[in-house]
Copies of this chain bind each other. A is one copy, B any other.
Amino acid sequence: MREIGVGMVGYSFMGRAHSNAYRQVSFFYPELPVKPVLKAICGRTKEAVDAAASDMGWEQAVYDFDELLERDDIGLIDINTPNNMHVPMAIKAAQAGKHVICEKPLGMTVAETEEALAAVREAGVVHMLCHNYRRAPAIWLAKEMIEAGMLGEIYHWRGHYLQDWLMDPTAPLFWRCQKEIAGSGALGDLMAHSADLALWLVGDIDSVCGSLNTFVKQRPTLTSTDGGLGGGAGTEMADVTVDDAATALVKFKCGAMGVFEVTRFAAGHKNYNFFEINGSRGSIRFNLERLNELEYFDAEDDGKTAGFKTILASDTIHPFQGLSDGGPRFWPAGHNIGYEHTFINTFADLFKGIAEGKSPNPNFEDGVKIQKVLAAVEKSSEQATWVTV
């Protein structure tokens, strides 16, 4: 067993989720061959970074990203910044010989993500993209069931990611509403997740037809510069330059039809990352707001007693849930895990990957693929036509 120093940049929502996962991964994964040490957290605003370092258990706060790269005791760089910084930082980290984990979306453009992929490949470092939902046990179970043929030939993908946190028209124009920083709105934030799952569970996408829409065209500018929603709304108005919602029809290479819908304007939905897949042998459904559950219909079941069943993927036989001694990794069946555990499972596989010198899925290759889909949706929306991915 050895340790690896982590240097993390970004300290808001994702920084906090990652910090927690570093703290917890060795507790729940005692078998890890490589364990993280929370060496340094990096950001620009000294006061805030200092507080974050203290609150989240980092040994040190630094204010210059390059400083992380220069340190020998840091072997892994974790990037949680706004989207426009992902690729530049990832490339720098790779060039400095550091392993890299990056929040999604990988970048702003396909070209950019390809550069990032080239960089990590050339450097030979381990790279991972933090699409943490793959490692919700119920979703990983879905993957195993699909691979075991339990859905048969796939006909339909239906993926919605519905939220409602931006419906208030007086909410200010923070970075997620600005194209130059975020790249896009619901598209890169939510459809990135949904596309990742579709590509993984169903397969490659051939072509897309998308539609982006901004319901609230202008918002008050922020009064402070910390970038978050908490900054407060000023009296001036400025244009929202990203989408509030995005929809897309897609054709998968395998012949399946797909529908995507993501939005920040679906009243009553907080984090409704839902998908359903229909195949010749069965159907499967998932909803992130009940993340321990997976629904399955087995078309080969006796018709008289067939029906969708609700699998509570919380037992030791379910993915990630069992220790090697047969005991529960987290808690006994029905003593459910939460959102944060998807990060813990993701990081466990990252550290196994680092031990073996292999980049776990999803990595920058997947990041390029996802970006191609998102870019095609955006282009399709502008041109009002189908676009080949």
Contact = CB atoms under 8 A, between A and B. Distances in A.
A384 B249 CA distance: 11
A310 B308 contact: yes
A311 B315 contact: no
A137 to B, nearest CB: 11
Interface residues of A, number: 94
A338 B339 CA distance: 8
A57 interface: yes
Contacts of A334: 163, 269-272, 288-289
Interface string A229-260: 01000000000000001011101000101010
Find the residue from A164, A305, A308, A317 having the highest chain B CB count within 10 A: A305
A272 B263 CA distance: 23
Interface stretch (A173-181, A207-215, A350-358): A207-215
Interface in A13-49: 13, 17, 19-20, 23-24, 27, 30
Interface in A319-344: 325-327, 330-341
Interface string A304-319: 1111111110110110
B331 A340 contact: yes
A193 to B, nearest CB: 12
Nearest to A265: B155
Find the residue from A20, A162, A255, A259 having the highest chain B CB count within 10 A: A259
A270 B296 CA distance: 15
A8 B341 CA distance: 25
B335 A230 contact: no
A311 to B, nearest CB: 4
Given A249-B247, A334-B289, A339-B336, A299 B268 contact: yes
A267 B261 contact: no
A48 B259 CA distance: 43
20 contacts: A155-B266, A156-B261, A156-B263, A209-B384, A247-B249, A247-B259, A259-B259, A263-B278, A267-B279, A267-B280, A268-B308, A269-B278, A270-B333, A303-B315, A305-B309, A308-B310, A331-B339, A335-B339, A336-B339, A385-B385
